[in-house]
Amino acid sequence: MSELTDEIRRRRTFAIVSHPDAGKTTLTEKLLLFGGAIHVAGAVKSNKIKKTATSDWMEIEKQRGISVATSVMGFEYDGYKINILDTPGHRDFAEDTYRTLTAVDSVIIVVDTAKGVEAQTRKLMEVCRMRKTPVMIFVNKMDREGKDPFDLLDELEQELQISVRPLSWPIDRGVKFKGVYNIYEKKLDLYTPSKQKITESIAFKDVSNPELEKYIGTDLAGQLRADLELIEGVYPEFDVNTYLKGDAAPVFFGSALNNFGVKELLDCFVHIAPSPRPVTAEEREVNPEDAFAGFIFKIHANMDPNHRSCIAFLKICSGKFERNTNYKHVRFNKMMKFSSTTAFMAQKKETVDEAFAGDIVGLPDTGNFKIGDTLTSGEELHFKGLPSFSPEMFKYIENADPMKAKQLNKGIDQLMDEGVAQLFINQYNGRKIIGTVGQLQFEVIQYRLLHEYGAQCKWEPIGLYKACWIESDSPEALDNFKKRKYQYIAKDKQDRDVFLADSNYVLQMAQQDFPDIRFHFSSEF
Ligand code: G4P
């Protein structure tokens, strides 16, 4: 096998996602401990954005600064190179999370055993489903009272709309939690609360062996046998290919806080999770072993006002990236080379000379990059699949300092390129509308416009329900629709037509009255 193939095959690039508080940070930390990337528990805790009140967003930005280091966490484990892409916990930065999901090859979803599937998990799963991303589920907090595991599996299947297949099974739960039976490896893992070291597994191929009673007692042994029998009867045999196609999710149970069930998850994960997969560009399908190509999925601003520089995060889709080598910036049709390229190993940033498909490299950016920009060895490629979703909150943005109109426009332009929020221009009155997922983003924009561009903005309310991208096979129908709804038509930053619906009712009526128009809630269609 060539070095390139070898390097690509051992890469696992993924994100851990959850509704806030389900245990994403704790699980990430435990995975880093296994990889030897950190040595003490608590090291990842600084990224507690979600815990901060909305009004305290300066603190949030400070923490966001810290979180550059934890944006990508790379480490070696058992011969694999693992890249965990962090996603912001705060729901107001959900758009960041969606974009990060375009740069991963698989996802681990963490679910709280007591709370089950929560709002944000559902939304994130929608994105995974859209992209057919393979998903694994970790049911966390088994040391606490929670739902019946069979009920939980039903809930996962229904709410996340994916077939599930348990690969481990809990033995009791809450204070009586005894451990899990690892169906995947046929091992018994017994639980000791607050144990800091890795669980010792007992190989246990045949649960009918009376030895089982010795470990977990007669009642639980009987229960476990019955449960496993039911699982075999109800759930189809685990098939890696259905997982890889994004059609079925293996489920593990454990307690991240107690470091229980985490190693089992990781061991199974490295075996079955995909290495970098082919990525579809507009021109062709790009295979990981092709010549170098990658795209920018995230831009992180430096919050130090004296030093306006950003880091652009490049996901390498194919080939090998080398420092100080000329690559084509496709949008500029220009060759560029980078001398300071950052790799993210553990929580340190360090300069790298080379990186491979699956890896993320940080490039210093002084305004050259937009989200979605492609870099290649020379070929003209445009990667698809960086969707924008209809924002949930909208405001008109107005200039509050007439002397600084130019600065304001430049600031808005650049912040939108960075993906901070979405901009729509109302075609009727020419006013600029900013769409976000949460209030916090408006505050971030206002602050950054002032501190980085010296521009002052003010917000004016606009009663909007959704922005939908519209298209039609019939240019006349589209034209007619735009004429009829002329006050509610906008263009997004890519100059695509957008319908601004001020209520759900209006949207439904429009869908009913204009059957030739397709309304899309994400920009990828
Ligand atoms: P998040 O990143 O998904 O938002 O969740 P995070 O890991 O921060 O975990 C949320 C809370 O749940 C934390 O408690 C954490 O200690 C706790 N937790 C995580 N895994 C487990 C588990 O397996 N069992 C139990 N019982 N609790 C778990 P906290 O009190 O909010 O924070 P902290 O003071 O412990 O840091």
Whether the CB of 30 sits within 6 Å of ligand 1: no
Predicted pLDDT at 15: 94
Per-residue pLDDT band for 469 (boundaries 50, 70, 90) equals very high
Portion of the chain with pLDDT greater than 70, in percent:
87
pLDDT of 393 over the 50 cut:
yes
Predicted pLDDT at 494: 85
Per-residue pLDDT band for 46 (boundaries 50, 70, 90) equals very low
Longest dimension (CA), the chain: 83
Predicted pLDDT at 266: 94
- Residue with the smallest CA separation from ligand 1 atom 19 is 23
- Judge whether 115 and 121 are in contact, CB under 8 Å: no
For residue range 115-137, what is the model confidence (pLDDT) as tens digits? 999 988 998 898 899 889 999 99
Backbone angles phi, psi at 109, to 5 degrees: -100, 130
Whether the CB of 182 sits within 6 Å of ligand 1: no
Q: Which of 21, 32, 86 is the pocket-test mutation for ligand 1 (most atoms within 8 Å of CB)? A: 21
Whether the CB of 108 sits within 6 Å of ligand 1: no
Per-residue pLDDT band for 433 (boundaries 50, 70, 90) equals very high
Predicted pLDDT at 348: 60
Predicted pLDDT at 90: 66
* One-letter identity of residue 213: E
Task: Over range 18-30, report the average pLDDT.
Answer: 89
Task: Over range 326-333, report the average pLDDT.
Answer: 95
Whether the CB of 21 sits within 6 Å of ligand 1: yes
Whether the CB of 257 sits within 6 Å of ligand 1: yes
For residue range 73-99, what is the model confidence (pLDDT) as tens digits? 888 999 999 999 988 766 666 777 888
DSSP-assigned letter for residue 38: -
Predicted pLDDT at 476: 95
Task: Over range 286-295, report the average pLDDT.
Answer: 96
DSSP-assigned letter for residue 55: G
Lowest mean pLDDT among 17-21, 103-107, 461-465: 17-21
- Judge whether 137 and 161 are in contact, CB under 8 Å: no
For residue range 241-259, what is the model confidence (pLDDT) as tens digits? 999 999 999 999 999 998 8
Whether the CB of 13 sits within 6 Å of ligand 1: no
pLDDT of 322 over the 70 cut:
yes
Predicted pLDDT at 512: 95
Q: Ligand 1 centroid to 468 CA: how many Å?
A: 37
Whether the CB of 26 sits within 6 Å of ligand 1: yes
- Judge whether 489 and 483 are in contact, CB under 8 Å: no
* One-letter identity of residue 205: K
Predicted pLDDT at 13: 96
Alpha-carbon separation of residue 173 from 118, 155, 191, 225 (angstroms): 20, 18, 11, 16
User: Which tokens sit at 394?
Assistant: 């909208």
Q: Ligand 1 centroid to 26 CA: how many Å?
A: 6
Predicted pLDDT at 339: 87
Q: Ligand 1 centroid to 111 CA: how many Å?
A: 12
pLDDT greater at residue 366 or residue 21? 21
Q: Ligand 1 centroid to 255 CA: how many Å?
A: 10
H helix runs in 454-514, sequence order = 475-484, 504-513
For residue range 144-182, what is the model confidence (pLDDT) as tens digits? 999 999 999 999 999 999 999 999 999 999 989 999 999
Whether the CB of 261 sits within 6 Å of ligand 1: no
Predicted pLDDT at 52: 41
Per-residue pLDDT band for 196 (boundaries 50, 70, 90) equals low
Give the other-Cβ count within 10 Å of 416's Cβ: 19
Task: Over range 464-469, report the average pLDDT.
Answer: 93
Task: Over range 357-379, report the average pLDDT.
Answer: 90
Global confidence as pTM:
0.84
* One-letter identity of residue 402: P
* Domains of the chain and CATH, by start: 3-175+239-272 (3.40.50.300), 279-376 (3.40.50.300), 393-520 (3.30.70.3280)
Structure-token match 């018994």, residue found:
188
Whether the CB of 20 sits within 6 Å of ligand 1: yes
pLDDT greater at residue 339 or residue 301? 339
User: Which tokens sit at 49?
Assistant: 């954005």
- Residue with the smallest CA separation from ligand 1 atom 30 is 21
User: Which tokens sit at 501?
Assistant: 């619906």
Q: Quick one: which atom of ligand 1 is closest to the CA of 20?
A: 4
Predicted pLDDT at 474: 95
Give the other-Cβ count within 10 Å of 16's Cβ: 23
Mean pLDDT of all residues belonging to the chain: 87
CA-to-CA distance for 481 and 295, rounded, in angstroms? Answer: 35
Q: Which of 257, 260, 264 is the pocket-test mutation for ligand 1 (most atoms within 8 Å of CB)? A: 257
Predicted pLDDT at 41: 55
Q: Ligand 1 centroid to 480 CA: how many Å?
A: 54
Alpha-carbon separation of residue 144 from 41, 95, 174, 391 (angstroms): 21, 32, 4, 36
- Residue with the smallest CA separation from ligand 1 atom 32 is 21
User: Which tokens sit at 59?
Assistant: 């603190």
Q: Ligand 1 centroid to 312 CA: how many Å?
A: 31
Q: Ligand 1 centroid to 436 CA: how many Å?
A: 28
Structure-token match 């890795």, residue found:
198
Portion of the chain with pLDDT greater than 90, in percent:
57
Predicted pLDDT at 53: 40
Task: Over range 510-523, report the average pLDDT.
Answer: 91
Q: Ligand 1 centroid to 256 CA: how many Å?
A: 8
Structure-token match 């901070």, residue found:
420
